[in-house]
Chains A and B, each alone.
Chain A
């Protein structure tokens, strides 16, 4: 009986969680437990049946998304969160877990309590009748709840009219499906995508569900198709939904105290007197304040005009924290306008040293100048150069900050137009510019200095790939940002394989940290010029091979670069190598050597033939012969000399 019911095409829990997907854990257990409205009792009994079969299903979501870690972080920075959902979700999840346990206990206690066989049978019969009744109800409910299915609009027909239905679906896309219906469908699709194999209707594939999800998300949130596609590459479905939801809301307003003119305590007092509901940001930043409510406009109080604070998003504190600014330094800010980070650097320098604030746009420099002058900064020079080519103006900076221009996909909540206007072409242009700027930034820096690269985007093309490019073309290495939180950068993304140290860079997302999407990476300059013996290349050499070579006696140290075939003569490399575009792991040999080498391989072949013919003792392998130093012109003398040499070689080896 029970088995029959399970095989029915109606999905396990027709009852939907109406929470709107706010808390993930909430959803997971709610869906199974039937916290929805239709028939709670049935759902509970179903749940207990299914426990035997697929207990693992309940824990799938955690592993998929790593939300466990996310929830922790959410709780840490409660001060940020005005979103009740996140907090509520976490709390509710706890309560859900406890509910589940208690319910299960009750049910199992019933079964195990009675010892009598008759009573057991009686109970079993009761149960059967109950289930029959419930099955009938379910059928009824199924017909009622048509729109909750993702694919079907009519009662289930086992996927025969799949194409027709999909065609209908497509037609429906063009028509106006009401927003609520789309949202429901999104929730249902997400639920199915959690475990497609068991949850899907008929034979619909995961891709089909994803495409439906994509269409719905485009319709609900007004994103362009290309952009949703990009985001689907970045995030798993549930996280994507969280991200999109978070982008619809504003991040809290944060300000940064100007320690050159006032202290945080004084400013809090002054502003609360003016009628602002203000509080400190977390312990990670001691100059940040968060504004919950305000009677007066935040950007035009007397304190603001006097330069006591600046309105700045919380994520913009991060690159300056990573930069590790000290007094009496020379610092360059390559894309400084409108000046939030510049002024932060200057206050950390305490007006000592020299700060060069540069921006390519003369219009935005007006804002930069205004901010710099208002905040009382005296060690700053404001310049109007293109960042690309800055090394021709001035070099030798202790620190360089590059907050590169980007597509701004992390700050969609501030500027909703990005959803529709950004295209692939924008990403290509931006990423090209970012790479050029980053190389210039590295060139401007002194050896041993630090460069911090940051963007307000979440795309890999603009973040990790730009830094990876720099690693290939300059003598730099990534160092730890020393930031107290943040998701590690990606080392693998789709077809791209990037350097392993990119995990030291940090990514920030609005739906996890409640701050703008951001990326920060800190680089240390190892040497001037383009890379030759850069760490990146050295990392590529398999460690085993290198050690082997070093252990061979009587030979000079092998070169740093890897060559597929082992060298004949380990000659010292020339210091200045010819420039080549892109990577060259293979060593470039002049023409003469190559011909010599070919001759040697020919010789080897002859040698082999000889060996076979004469049945020599030595079991000759190519490498052993290849390592020989001398190269006699005549083959005959060589052949004669070879056995003797081989013998001697063997002795030295052993």
Chain B
């Protein structure tokens, strides 16, 4: 496990900003404990320093990971966010998208959400804005990117895409091996 380089940190926080805006400082500077981002096998892990120390006893080949996995760096250095950090992002999310029950299952299978499935949306959401997706019971079910801004969404026809799917909790079953 090694700390992230400058570039890697930049890429990571740029991506996180998309979803939680300026609240990234809450992830980095926590008052209760010191949490850090670490890189292991191209994946970004978020964990306490105490945990990191003890995980240092484990050889690199034998360690699968420690703490929470946020995502992975691709071959070209881009950062792909994973579903496993949903809890952390959901609590700091600024823009949210609620999906109606009729399209909830569809979203959990990896499909985009159309206007017909749009339950609620945060006011002032921009176009192509990263959002946290929740179901009507306020349970976070994934990430997405809005297709249109809030105002434009109202004018959409029911079959048109309102939200692009990025990650959903159905992946725990569908893509268990590729879970980041």
Asked if A306 and B65 make an inter-chain contact with CB atoms under 8 angstroms apart, the answer reads: no
Asked if B54 and A384 make an inter-chain contact with CB atoms under 8 angstroms apart, the answer reads: no
Question: Which residue on B lies nearest to A305, using beta carbons?
Answer: B169
Asked if B141 and A306 make an inter-chain contact with CB atoms under 8 angstroms apart, the answer reads: yes
CA of A379 to CA of B140 in the docked complex: distance in angstroms? 22
User: B88 CB to closest chain A CB, in angstroms?
Assistant: 9
Known: A302-B108, A305-B172. A373 touches B69 (CB 8 A): yes
* Contacting residues, chain B, for A300 (C-beta < 8 A): 173
* Contacting residues, chain A, for B65 (C-beta < 8 A): 369, 381-382
* Contacting residues, chain B, for A299 (C-beta < 8 A): 173
Task: Pick out which of these stretches binds chain A: B8-16, B44-52, B124-132.
Answer: B44-52
User: A448 CB to closest chain B CB, in angstroms?
Assistant: 19
* Contacting residues, chain A, for B48 (C-beta < 8 A): 378-379
Q: Chain A, 282-311, contact with B by CB distance < 8 Å: what is the 0/1 string? A: 000000000000000001101101100000
Question: Which residue on A lies nearest to B175, using beta carbons?
Answer: A370
* Contacting residues, chain A, for B135 (C-beta < 8 A): 302
The reply on B84 being an interface residue by CB < 8 A is: yes
Known: A305-B169, A306-B169, A393-B57. A379 touches B51 (CB 8 A): yes
Q: Which of A270, A376, A378 contacts B137 (CB 8 A)?
A: A270
Which residues of chain B in 48-66 are interfacial with respect to chain A, using CB atoms and an 8 Å cutoff? 48, 50-51, 54-55, 57-59, 61-66
CA of A393 to CA of B57 in the docked complex: distance in angstroms? 6
Which residues of chain B in 84-109 are interfacial with respect to chain A, using CB atoms and an 8 Å cutoff? 84, 87, 104, 108
The reply on B116 being an interface residue by CB < 8 A is: no
Asked if A381 and B55 make an inter-chain contact with CB atoms under 8 angstroms apart, the answer reads: yes
The reply on B21 being an interface residue by CB < 8 A is: no
Asked if B58 and A383 make an inter-chain contact with CB atoms under 8 angstroms apart, the answer reads: yes
Asked if B172 and A393 make an inter-chain contact with CB atoms under 8 angstroms apart, the answer reads: no
Tell me whether chain B's interface is mostly helix, strand or loop, or mixed: mixed
The reply on B39 being an interface residue by CB < 8 A is: no
Asked if A383 and B63 make an inter-chain contact with CB atoms under 8 angstroms apart, the answer reads: yes
CA of A607 to CA of B55 in the docked complex: distance in angstroms? 71
CA of A305 to CA of B137 in the docked complex: distance in angstroms? 14
Q: Which of A373, A380, A383 contacts B62 (CB 8 A)?
A: A383
Asked if B66 and A381 make an inter-chain contact with CB atoms under 8 angstroms apart, the answer reads: yes
A-B pairs with CB below 8 Å: how many?
A: 89
CA of A303 to CA of B57 in the docked complex: distance in angstroms? 35
CA of A354 to CA of B47 in the docked complex: distance in angstroms? 11
Q: Which of A261, A366, A369, A394 contacts B58 (CB 8 A)?
A: A394
CA of A283 to CA of B117 in the docked complex: distance in angstroms? 42
Question: Which residue on B lies nearest to A355, using beta carbons?
Answer: B51
Asked if B64 and A370 make an inter-chain contact with CB atoms under 8 angstroms apart, the answer reads: no
CA of A379 to CA of B55 in the docked complex: distance in angstroms? 10
CA of A195 to CA of B105 in the docked complex: distance in angstroms? 62
* Contacting residues, chain B, for A270 (C-beta < 8 A): 137
* Contacting residues, chain B, for A394 (C-beta < 8 A): 54, 57-58
Question: Which residue on A lies nearest to B179, using beta carbons?
Answer: A370
* Contacting residues, chain B, for A374 (C-beta < 8 A): 84, 169, 172
Q: Which of A302, A306, A330, A382 contacts B66 (CB 8 A)?
A: A382
CA of A370 to CA of B108 in the docked complex: distance in angstroms? 16
Task: Give the 8 A-B residue pairs with the shortest CB-CB distance, closest first.
Answer: A381-B66, A305-B169, A382-B64, A373-B84, A381-B55, A394-B57, A354-B54, A384-B62
Given A381-B54, A382-B66, 11 more contacts at CB 8 Å? A261-B87, A300-B173, A302-B104, A305-B141, A354-B50, A370-B176, A373-B69, A376-B87, A378-B51, A384-B63, A385-B62
Q: A interface vs B, CB < 8 Å?
A: 261, 270, 299-300, 302-303, 305-306, 330, 354, 356, 365-367, 369-370, 373-374, 376, 378-385, 393-394
